Structure 1
Amino acid sequence: MKLHIKNETSRLRAVVLGTAKSNGPIPTLEEAYDPKSQEHIKAGTYPIEEEMVKEIESVAAVLKKYDVEVYRPKIIEDYNQIFTRDIAFVIDDKFIKSNILPDRDQEIDAIEHVVEQIAPSKIITLPEDAHIEGGDVMPMGDYIFVGTYKGKDYKDFITARTNLKAVEALEKEFPDKKVISFSLKKSNTIARDNALHLDCCFQPVGKNKAIIYKEGFLIEEEYKWLVNFFGKENIYEITQDEMYHMNSNIFSISEDVVISEKGFTRLNTWLREQGITVEEVPYAEISKQEGLLRCSTLPLIRD
């Protein structure tokens, strides 16, 4: 397989889509990885497997409609395998394995049938102390945007998934690219104050547009840099409530087609105003785990 990912919006040809089958029992509060999951565990509204399977299969149907080659993880009994974006990511023709939370190590093994189709020289394993997850990494042509948390209290945040050592490792691995890091706001306990990954508060869409949540950025100058990069007129600002429901976590099949949650009325209207076809799917149950459409997909090949 010849990997090819230069950006977030070129025509998608191959992707690994997560699975909600055999998702396991509702986790305890101690087992939850993020404050939104904790919120729903406490409230008794944590999503049930049957509903999540329906949601993720609706995405598979849209991808099939657009002739995208879809790979799926092998099922691990009683194990959450929805968010494939976390476990690895592709930049150019390289497959970079993430260093994720130890409890999730088995997830990469479940896509071994995909990894073994990639030339070993193109598979990159970062140093063990370089913590990184794919939701924080966005290839943008000559740039790589990376969400991170640089505070000395990094270890205190289960929601801090990508550290400075990972940013430095990407700089070494891709010396011809400009690696730009963005410090994100983190909270272990309040979902509305937590930007789990960069794609929870920002995402490029279309030809030159971007969805952004200003308050997800710890440093205002870094938010302003992004606004300048795209141009203020091309930025769609979302509210805290929209961020909480994961409005920036849609997924592009091409510059002209996106998959979005059917309840994102304001966003979907704006996307259509930009001339973008919006394929609406139900995804509100999966979003209760603080992840949405981009989180569930690991693109391998784009034109």
Structure 2
Amino acid sequence: MTAPIHIYSEIGHLKTVMLKRPGRELENLTPDYLERLLFDDIPFLPAVQNEHDQFADTLKKQGVEVLYLEKLAAEALGDTSVREQFVSELLSESKADINGAYHRLKEYLLSFEAESMVEHVMSGVRKNEIELGLRSHLHELMEDHYPFYLDPMPNLYFTRDPAAAIGSGLTINKMKEPARRRESLFMRYIIEHHPRFKEHDIPVWLDRDFKFNIEGGDELVLNDETVAIGVSERSTAQAIERLVRNLFKRQDRIRRVLAVEIPKTRAFMHLDTVFTMVDRDQFTIHPAIQGPEGDMRIFILERGKTEEDVQITEEHNLLEVLKKTLGLSDVNLIFCGGGDEIASAREQWNDGSNTLAIAPGVVVTYDRNYISNACLREQGIKVIEIPSGELSRGRGGPRCMSMPLYRDDVK
């Protein structure tokens, strides 16, 4: 590979992907803080790790190179000065000085080597980890009942959202919820300091310091000219427009972006929770995102006559938009849960539409969504199921749990 990032489709043969193995951060979930940390339940760590390992092994058996976020981050932070800079930035974003713990936390984290430090940052730092005898201020001794100096990051195993590859570059995202906002800092340090990436001058189409939110689960690369982005609970129209303008200015291959509005609810969190591409002309979709006549609000953003001009056209029929923009004579929409009102709602909640394509017509799905999986198979899609008893408790499926870095082009 001459470049470390190359994503010009959703379905090209997957060559390299980044995962995050669930770790001790999940054991720092408690019922009192689930809502704050964006979880509905507490996964059983040994079981969720076993299921995630089976997911990784499934990809490896298909010839996919699996990289791990935690390992890349530790390797990127091997230099002491880089590690110190990272910790300073992380603690500032974590507002760690509100309780007067900034300097103590910094000293504590920098006492570890890179790998252990990354593990502590990801899993969170409990107040009882720092010895009581070291506390020298009244406000530290009279602490509140909140157990963390540094919150855990239990959502990290959903690597799709903090950063996403488009073409030869990345969006490094400002995430909507404070509980996840620090996550994208890891990817910035990886592309700037990891030996695999730092010499390639990887373009960042939209950086995490932009004031409006966007998340990777809303970003789908449909082909080498067309990207679809969900206007969702987590991604704003302002961020999408800025991304479009940057793409049009800095590269020539991607020519249009489809901004697809979906209901702004937790159940429909991102576009990829209700719509994913499974083959050249086939998509899985949750029927509830369409109106009675299949109508939706879809905005096609294309290059204008000048570099600064973006032409915007509003459309309402997803099927027709896909046929027109992808140059297809027909498109097959495969309904999650077979379109049944109850089955589709149940299986969409368990990410029945959140498929990870590893080749044209070959997808990885959760085993629990047996009706959706049967519908995919009936349409000629090869479905590789992975166990999902614990993984699904985090409200994300195989696409959510993976950040593709390199795919072969679709011939």
Q: Tell me the TM-score normalized by structure 2.
A: 0.63
Q: Deviations over 1:8-61 (max 9, x none)?
A: 11100001012212233224144132xxx33x3xxxxx3221121111111110
Rounded to whole Å, the distance in 1 between the matches of 2:190 and 2:259 is 32
Of 17, 20, 28 in structure 1, the residue corresponding to residue 19 of structure 2 is: 17
Q: Deviations over 1:256-294 (max 9, x none)?
A: 321111122222223223333221111232222221110
State the secondary structure of the residue aligned to 1:2: coil
Of 359, 376, 401 in structure 2, the residue corresponding to residue 296 of structure 1 is: 401
2:389 corresponds to 1:284? yes
Which residue is equivalent to 1:86? 161
Which residue is equivalent to 1:133? 215
Of 59, 77, 88 in structure 2, the residue corresponding to residue 63 of structure 1 is: 59
Of 271, 279, 296 in structure 2, the residue corresponding to residue 206 of structure 1 is: 279
Letter in 1 for 2:280: K
Measured on the aligned residues, the alpha-carbon RMSD in Å equals 2.3
2:29 corresponds to 1:26? yes
1:192-231 paired onto structure 2 within 5 Å: 194-216=267-289, 220-222=295-297, 225-228=317-320, 229=322
Tell which deviates more after alignment, 70-79 or 293-302: 70-79
Which residue is equivalent to 1:7? 9
Greater per-residue helix proportion: 2
2:320 corresponds to 1:237? no
Is the Cα–Cα contact under 8 Å of residues 20 and 52 in structure 1 kept in the other structure?
yes
Is the Cα–Cα contact under 8 Å of residues 231 and 259 in structure 2 kept in the other structure?
yes
Identical pairs, percent: 25
Rounded to whole Å, the distance in 2 between the matches of 1:284 and 1:185 is 27
Structure 1 residues 234 and 125: alpha-carbon distance in aligned structure 2, compared to 1, 3 A threshold: closer
Is the Cα–Cα contact under 8 Å of residues 182 and 217 in structure 1 kept in the other structure?
no
Letter in 2 for 1:108: S
Larger Rg: 2
Rounded to whole Å, the distance in 2 between the matches of 1:289 and 1:202 is 19
Shift of 1:233: 6.0
Shift of 1:217: 5.3
Is the Cα–Cα contact under 8 Å of residues 15 and 70 in structure 1 kept in the other structure?
yes
Shift of 1:232: 7.4
Which residue is equivalent to 1:143? 226
Structure 1 residues 121 and 82: alpha-carbon distance in aligned structure 2, compared to 1, 3 A threshold: closer
Is the Cα–Cα contact under 8 Å of residues 130 and 169 in structure 1 kept in the other structure?
no
Is the Cα–Cα contact under 8 Å of residues 246 and 290 in structure 1 kept in the other structure?
yes
State the secondary structure of the residue aligned to 1:89: strand
Is the Cα–Cα contact under 8 Å of residues 289 and 296 in structure 2 kept in the other structure?
no
Letter in 1 for 2:43: P
